[in-house]
Amino acid sequence: MEHASHALGPVLVEHASYLWLVPLFPLLGALVNVLFGWRFERSGKKSLVHVVAVGAMALSFLTAAYAFVQMLHLPAERRFLQNTLWNLFSAGRVTVDLAFALDPLSMMMVLIITFIGTLIHLFSVGYMWEDEAKAYWRFFAWLNLFVFSMLLLVMGDNFVLMFFGWEGVGLCSYGLIAFYYTDREKAAAGMKAFVVNRFGDFGFLAGLFLLFWGLGGAWAASCHTGGPSYQATPGMHSLAGASDAAASLALAPRVSLREHAAPAKHGAPAGHAAPAEHAAPAEHAAPAEHAAPAEHAVPAEHGAAAEHGTAPGHATASAKGEHGVGAQVMVGPTLNFRELRDQVVIEETGIAEHLKDQRVWGVALLALVGIFLFVGAMGKSAQLPLYVWLPDAMAGPTPVSALIHAATMVTAGVYMVARLNFIFALSPSAMGWVALIGTLTAVFAASIGFFQYDIKKVLAYSTVSQLGFMFIGVGVGVYWAGAYHLLTHAFFKACLFLGSGSVILGCHHEQDMRKMGGLKKYMPITRWTYLIACWAIAGFPWAAGFYSKDEILWKAFTSEHLALFGTATPWLGPAIYIAGLLAATGTSFYMFRSYFMTFTGEYRGGQGHGHEHGEDPHASVAAPHHADPHGHHDAHPAPDPAPAHGAHGHDAHGQAHGGHGGHGHTPHESPWTITLVLVVLAAGAVLCSLLGLPAAWTGHEPLLEQWLSPALTAEVPFVHKPHALEFVFQALGVGAGAIGFVFAWVLYKDNKSKVPAALKEKFLGVWTVVYNKYYVDELYDLVVIRPSLAWSRALSWFDGHIIDWLVNFAGSVARGFAGIDGWIDKHFVDGAVNAVATLTIEGGRTLRRVQTGRIQTYLYGALAGGLAVILLNFLIP
C-alpha cells in the first residue's frame, strides 16, 4: 500500500458555499415538526409530519449527492470542499469557526448517513404509524435532529464542531431511546446511554486538550531531539492574547516549504509579546438580534444564518499555487482538522517529531492522546468497558436502533479514529491499544449473542461485535478497510434491524424469537432480505461482509508494527487474526441461529406453549407486549387510505396498510414501504462488495481505497506476503463462516432438535452467566453507581451538618458572649453601687449605739480625746 509521492503537500481547498445546506435541511425539518408537528397530528393531517421529515432527508441527500458529483470531477489531491459560516468563538490561541468540510472520508460518511437515513425515515413511516405512543411528530422531530447532529459530527471542520455533533447525537439517542418514556425502565435506558456517553466525552475532551496544547509544545522536553528545530515555547502559545479569529491566526507561526532543501531555521514570525495594539480585523458586527429579548418564537440561529453573512473566510494561507513549493503551512495549536493534518503529515514542519518526543506523566504524549481519544470512541461506539448502554438502547423503536445503533452514531468512533489516522499512525502503542480493545469487544460481544432470545438483543450484540472488527481495522492501520467495513456494516446491519422490525411488526410487537418460527411462509420478502443480510454478515463471498472483514483480518495478520504501552508486540497481529476468526465463526453462528429460529420451523407465536418463561430472569427489556398491556390491544385506528402526495420525487412513500387489517394471530408481511426498503438495503449489502474487491482478485487497488487515499494519508508498514497466502486466508475466513452456519443449521433448523435444550441443561451455570451478559451491568452498578451515590449522600450530609453547623455554632457563640456580658454588667457594676449604699446604712446603725444619751459618757469621750492628745503629744517626738 505504498504511496507514490513521498513528500505530502498541504491540502488544497475548494470553496463550496452550499455545504451548510446539507445539515440545514434536517434541522429545518426537525424545527417544523417540533413547532407544528403536533398541530398537524391533532388536525388530522398526520401524514404531513412524515412528508416534512422524509422530504428534508431527501433534500439533504440530493445536496450531498451534488457535492459527491462535484468531488468526483476534482482531481484526487484536490478533493476537499470547505465552507465557513462565521467564527464561533476565539480567545487566545483557541479559535473555532462554524465551518463544514468534505473530504473523501467524510463524503462517504455523509452519503451513508443521508442515503440510509432516508431509507430508514421511509421505513419509519410504516412502522410508527400505528405506534401506541401517539407521538408520531416527536419521533420524526428527534430523528431529523439526529441526522442533523450526525451530519454536524461528520462534516465539522474542527474538533469543537465534531464535539457539537458528538454530544448532539448523544442527546438525540437519549430522546429516541427514551421515546416510550411512560415506561420507567425504557426512560432509564435513555439516561444510561447519555451518561455512559458522557464518560466517553470526558475522555475525548482530555485527549483533545492534550493534543491541542501538545502542538504548542506544552510538554516539550527542554532538549528537543533531532529533526527540524521547531522550538515552541508554551508562553507564546497558551498565553498569547488574541481577542478575535484573525488576531489569533496571525499569532500562528508559518513554515514555508522548500522542496527537499534543509528546512530553514524556522523563525517564528509572530512576535513573542502578544500584539498589544489591537489589530482591527474585519469586525464581527455585534449582532443586535440577541440583545433585544422581545422575539422569542423561533430560536434564531440557523434559520437566519444568512443575515450573519459569511464571515471573512479566513482562507488559509495555503497556497493556491502548485503543489508543495513555497506553500506556507500554519504550525502551532489548532483545532482545525485540515491545519492539524497539514502540520503533522508534512515532515518539514517538524511537528511530528516534536510531538513524538513529548512525554506527559512519564507516558508518550501521542500514546496518551490516542488512548484518551479512543476512550471517547469507546463511549460513543460501545466498545468493551462502555458498551453496556447499547443493548439497553434497544428500548427505543426499531428504526431508531437501525439508524442510530447500527448505521450511523455507533460508527462515529471509527470515523473519528479514521479522521485522525495520521495521529494514531505516529504512535504504535495507541494503535495496539485500539486493536486490542476492538478484538476483545468482538469476541466478548459475539459470545453474549449466542444465547439471547430477544431478536433485537442479538442484533445489538452483533453490532458491538462488528464495531470491534472495525476498530481492529483502524487499530491495525488499514483505515480504508475499517471504513469499508463501516460502510458494509451500515447496509447489512440496517437491513437486519429493519428485517427484525418488520418481523416484530408482523408478529404484533413480539420480540422473543421463541414465540416466532416458520415466518418464511408468511413473510417471504423479509425472509429473503434477512437471509441475504445474514449471508453478508457471516462473511460469505459475493456479499460485502466477506471482503471488508477479510481485508481487515488479513492486514491484522500481516502487521508487526503494533505495540502495547510502549513495548513493541509483533505477535499481537496474528493473535488478533485468530481472535477475529473466532469472532467471525461466532457471528455467523448466532446470525443463522436467529434466522432459523425466526424463519424456519413452525410458528410458535400466540399458542403460548409452555416455553420456559421462568428461566428468562433477565428479561430486562421486556418485550413491549406485557410492559404496557393496554397499549397493544387497543383497536387499531382505521388506516389513513389517502396516500400522501409525495412532494419530492424520491420519497414515493405513502403507506397502504393493506395487510395489517386482520387482527388474527397469524403473522403477515409488512406493507410495501417496509419491504421496499429491505430489498434496497439487501441489494446495497451485495453491491457494495464491488467497492472492495481486493487487489489479489482484481490486480488493482480496491475502488474505495483509491477513493479514500487522499484522506487516509498515514503509511503503515505492513509485512508483504504473497497473494497466494492471501487466498488461503480468505478461504479460512469462509470456512469459519461455514462452521458457524453448520452449527446453527444442526441446532436450530426448524427448531426441531432437542440438543440446544439438552446442552443448556448440562451447562446451565455457564448458560445463565453468558445469558446475563456476564453480570456486567450489576458489576457497574456495584462499582460505580452505588459508591458515587453513597459518596454524594456523605458529602451532602457533610455540607448540611458540618459546615452549616459551624456557621450556626458561630452564631450561638456570639449569642453566648452577649449573655455573659449582660450578666457581668448586672452583677458587678450594679453590685458595687448597692454595696456602697448598704455600707453606709450599716455603719450608721452601728455608730448609733454610741449615743447613749447620758452626759457622763460624752464627758468620758471628751476626756479620753483630751488625754489621747496629751499622750500623743508626748509619744510623737
Partner 1 sequence: MFGPNNVLAWATFLPLGGAILIVLLTALRYVSGLSKHALDQASRAIALCTSGLSLVAAIYAWSFYDPNAAGMVVAGKASGVQLVQRAVWIRGFNVEWFVGVDGLSISMVLLSGLISFVATIASLPWWSGAKDREMAGMVEDDGHAGGAHGGHGHGEAHPKHFSVRMVPGYMVMLLLLQTGMMGTFVALDMFLFYVFWEVMLLPMYFLIGVWGGPRKEYAAIKFFLYTLAGSVLMLLAIIGVYYNSAGASLVDGSATEHTFNLLELAAQGHAGQFASAAPILGFEFAKIVFVALFIGFAIKIPMFPFHTWLPDAHVEAPTPISVILAGVLLKMGPYGILRFNFAILPDATRWAANAIAIFGVINIVYAAFVCLAQKDLKKLIAYSSVSHMGFTLLGMAAMTPTAISGAVLNLFTHGIISGMLFLIVGVIYDRAHHREIARFGGLAQQLPEYTAIMGLAFFASMGLPGLAGFISEFMVFSGSFPVYMTYVIISATSVIITAAYYLWAIHRMFLGKLNETYRGFPDLNWRERLTLYPLGAIAIVLGFYPQAILGSINTTLHVLVQNVRL
Partner 2 sequence: MLHVGLQHFLVVGALLFSLGLLTVATRRNAIGVLMGVELILNGANVNFVAFNHYVTGGVSGQVFALFVIVLAAAEAAVGLAIVLAIFQTFRSIDVRLADTMRE
Partner 3 sequence: MPRKIVIWVVLAALVVTFVGVLGARMAEGAVLPEIILGPLGLTDALFYLFAAMTFAGAATVALSKNILHSALGLLAALMGTGSLYVFLSADFLAVTQLLVYIGGVLVLILFAVMLTNRITEVKISNASLGLVGGGALLVATVPVLVFVAIATPWATIVPAELAPTTREIGNAFLTRWLLPFELASLVLLATLIGAVVIARKELKQDEPDTSVS
Q: In the set 634, 856, 873, 876, which binds partner 3 (CB under 8 A)? A: 856
Q: Which does 799 bind (CB under 5 to 8 A by kind): partner 3, partner 1, partner 2, none?
A: partner 1
Given partner 1, partner 2, partner 3, none, residue 870, with its beta carbon under 5 to 8 Å by kind, binds partner 3
In the complex, least distance from residue 849 CB atom to partner 3, rounded to whole angstroms? 15
Binding flag, residue 191, partner 1 (CB under 8 A): yes
Helices (H), 409-515: 412-419, 421-426, 428-449, 455-476, 479-506
State how far the Cα of 444 lies from the Cα of 431, in Å rounded to an integer.
20
867 binds, among partner 3, partner 2, partner 1, none (CB under 5 to 8 A by kind): partner 3
**542, interface contact from partner 2, partner 1, partner 3, none, CB < 5-8 Å by kind:** none
Shortest Å distance, C-beta 867 to partner 3: 6
- What's the grid cell of residue 791? 459518596
Q: Which of these, 692, 424, 467, 442, lies nearest to 561 by C-alpha position?
A: 424
472 binds, among partner 3, partner 1, partner 2, none (CB under 5 to 8 A by kind): none
Q: Which is nearer to partner 1, 372 or 596 (CB)?
A: 372
d(CA 38, CA 14): 42
Shortest distance, position 846 Cβ to partner 3, whole Å: 20
- Let me know the angle formed at the C-alpha of 622 by 618 and 628, rounded to the nearest 5 degrees: 145
Report whether 459 contacts 396 (CB < 8 A): no
* SS3 of residue 88 by DSSP: strand
| Site stretch for partner 1 (CB under 8 A), options 163-171, 416-424, 615-623, 666-674 | 163-171
Specify the DSSP element, H or E, that contains 15: strand 14-15
> Is residue 160 close enough to count as binding partner 1 by CB under 8 A?
yes
CA–CA gap between residue 401 and residue 146 (Å, rounded):
12
How many residues are given for the chain?
A: 877
Distance CA 474, CA 459 (A): 23
In angstroms, the CA 735 to CA 77 distance is 40
- When the beta carbons of 803 and 863 are compared against partner 2, the nearer one is 863
Query: CB of 836: closest distance to partner 3 in angstroms?
Result: 31
For residue 800, the SS3 value is: helix
Report how far residue 498's alpha carbon sits from residue 626's, in angstroms, rounded to the nearest whole number: 22
The contact pattern for partner 3, residues 585-624, with x = CB under 8 A and - = no contact, is ----------------------------------------
3-state class (DSSP) for residue 156: strand
Interface with partner 1, residue 205, by CB under 8 A: yes
Q: Are 462 and 588 in contact (CB under 8 A)?
A: no
**Residue 572: closest CA among 586, 561, 588, 587:** 561
Which residues have a Cβ under 8 Å from the Cβ of 621 and sit 6 or more positions away? 185, 186, 189, 391, 392, 394, 395, 454, 457
Q: Return the residue of 690, 766, 769, 870 that touches partner 3, per CB under 8 A.
A: 870
* Alpha-carbon span 757 to 73, nearest angstrom: 59
SS3 7: coil
| Integer CA distances (angstroms), 652 to 25, 156, 174, 495, in order | 19, 31, 30, 19
DSSP for residue 662? -
CA gap 309, 299 in Å, rounded: 18
Please choose, out of 247-255, 305-313, 802-810, 859-867, the segment that lies near partner 3 by the rule CB under 8 A. 859-867
Q: Report the largest interatomic distance among the alpha carbons of the chain, rounded to a whole angstrom.
A: 158
Say whether residue 809 binds partner 1 (CB under 8 A). Answer: no
Q: Is 854 in the site for partner 2 (CB under 8 A)?
A: yes
Number of H helices, E strands in the chain: 36, 9
Region near partner 1 per CB under 8 A, out of 4-12, 123-131, 402-410, 796-804: 796-804
CB of 854 to partner 2, least distance (A): 6
Q: Which does 278 bind (CB under 5 to 8 A by kind): partner 2, partner 1, partner 3, none?
A: partner 1
Q: Which helix (H) or strand (E) holds 96?
A: strand 94-102
Q: Does 859 bind partner 2 (CB under 8 A)?
A: yes
If binding means CB under 8 A, how many residues of this protein chain bind partner 2? 9
Least separation in angstroms between CB 871 and partner 3? 9
Residues that bind partner 3 (rule: CB under 8 A) add up to a total of: 6
In the shown chain, the binding pattern of residues 290 to 319 toward partner 1, with x for contact by CB under 8 A and - for none, equals xxxxxxxx-xxxx-----x-----------
Residue pair 431/425 in contact (Cβ under 8 Å)? The answer is yes
Spell out a b/e string for 689-720, using b for 16 or more CB atoms within 10 Å of the CB, else e.
bebbbbebeeeeebebbebbbbbbbbebebee
Direct distance between the N- and C-terminal alpha carbons of the chain, in angstroms, rounded to an integer: 135
Contacting partner 1 (CB under 8 A), which of 286, 835, 841, 869? 286
Listing DSSP states for 219-230 in one string gives T--SSPPSSS--
Nearer to partner 3 by C-beta: 262 or 869? 869
Question: Using CB under 8 A, which of 9, 29, 104, 216 touches partner 1?
Answer: 216
Region near partner 3 per CB under 8 A, out of 1-9, 161-169, 472-480, 852-860? 852-860
Q: Which of the stretches 292-300, 416-424, 490-498, 862-870 binds partner 3 when contact is defined by CB under 8 A?
A: 862-870
Q: Which three cell numbers stand for residue 831?
A: 453590685
Decide which of partner 1, partner 3, partner 2, none touches 855; Cβ closer than 5 to 8 Å per partner kind: partner 2
| DSSP-derived 3-state class of residue 730 | helix
Return the number of the residue (567 or 846) whose C-beta is nearest partner 2: 846
* Neighbour count for residue 764 (Cβ, 10 Å): 12
| Residue 852: contacted member of partner 2, partner 1, partner 3, none (CB under 5 to 8 Å, by partner type) | partner 2
Q: Would you say 379 and 342 are in contact if contact means Cβ atoms under 8 Å apart?
A: no
Options 223, 288, 829, 832; binder of partner 1; rule CB under 8 A: 288
Q: Decide whether 834 or 851 has the Cβ nearer to partner 2.
A: 851
* Nearer CB in complex with partner 1: 281/438: 281
69-98 residues in contact with partner 1 (CB under 8 A) are: 86-94, 98
DSSP-assigned letter for residue 720 = P
Q: Among 285-293, 439-447, 575-583, 848-856, which window interacts with partner 2 (CB under 8 A)?
A: 848-856
Q: Which residues ranging from 95 to 124 are in contact with partner 1 (CB under 8 A)?
A: 98
Of positions 44, 614, 649, 853, contacts partner 2 by CB under 8 A: 853
> Cα(723)–Cα(728) distance, rounded to whole angstroms?
9
Give the other-Cβ count within 10 Å of 162's Cβ.
22
| Partner from partner 1, partner 3, partner 2, none contacting 322, C-beta within 5 to 8 A by type | none
753 and 747 Cβ atoms separated by less than 8 Å: yes
Q: Which residues within the stretch 297-336 sit at the binding site for partner 3 (CB under 8 A)?
A: none
Beta carbon of residue 630, minimum distance to partner 1 (angstroms, whole number): 12
Q: Is residue 187 at the binding interface for partner 1, with CB under 8 A as the rule?
A: yes
Q: Does residue 844 belong to the site contacting partner 2 (CB under 8 A)?
A: no
Rg (CA), the chain: 38
CB of 251 or CB of 681, closer to partner 1 = 251
Per CB under 8 A, the list member of 731, 753, 860, 862 interacting with partner 3 is 860
Q: Name which position in 812, 846, 851, 873 contacts partner 2 (CB under 8 A).
A: 851
Stretch near partner 2 under the rule CB under 8 A, chosen from 584-592, 648-656, 699-707, 859-867: 859-867
Residue 855 as a binder of partner 2 (CB under 8 A): the answer is yes
Residues that bind partner 3 (CB under 8 A): 853, 856, 860, 863, 867, 870
Binding site residues, partner 2, CB under 8 A = 851-856, 859-860, 863
